[in-house]
Amino acid sequence: MPPTRFPFRLDRRSRPILRLFGIHDVDDAYVRVDDATFTARFGRFEVATPLANLASWRIEGPWRSIRAVGVRLSLRHGDITFGGTARGGVRIDFREPVKIGPFHPPALYVTVEDLEGLGEALRSRGVGGSDARQQSLP
């Protein structure tokens, strides 16, 4: 399959904050998936890991902006968020934690524009997942 690139959703009112992380336009924040590698770039921050290291994915959200925009570390679970919006994102769980700066998170949240498309790109490459938003509907 050809590589697939998913730009992050960058809310207009969050852009001044996102500039602090090195994000000036959509070319600075994206997820790229090919048959061998998962890469998430968010300004000056980047995660790259073999596709075989992805355990699962899950679409979640929306969240509060204070908890979703920027590069965030969850003190409770050690997850990292690359967030440009509070509207929702995809949680990527790793089989083995990956290195992001001094941290080794077990999971990464990415707020790409096309949540379902990223899920399908991962599913088509053998990574299972779900849409938690669908599970919460009556």
Does this model's pTM top 0.85?
A: yes
The structural domains of the chain, with segments of one domain joined by +, span: 4-135
The predicted model gives 41-63 an average pLDDT of: 96
CATH number of the domain at 4-135, out of 2.60.120, 1.10.150, 2.30.29, 2.40.160?
2.30.29
Q: Where are the alpha helices (DSSP H) in the chain?
A: 15-19, 65-68, 115-123, 132-135
Summarize pLDDT for 86-103 with one digit per residue, the tens.
899 999 999 999 999 899
Summarize pLDDT for 3-50 with one digit per residue, the tens.
899 999 998 888 888 999 999 987 999 999 999 999 999 999 999 999
CB 68 within 8 A of CB 14: no
Summarize pLDDT for 105-132 with one digit per residue, the tens.
999 999 999 999 999 999 999 999 999 9
pLDDT of 66 over the 90 cut? no
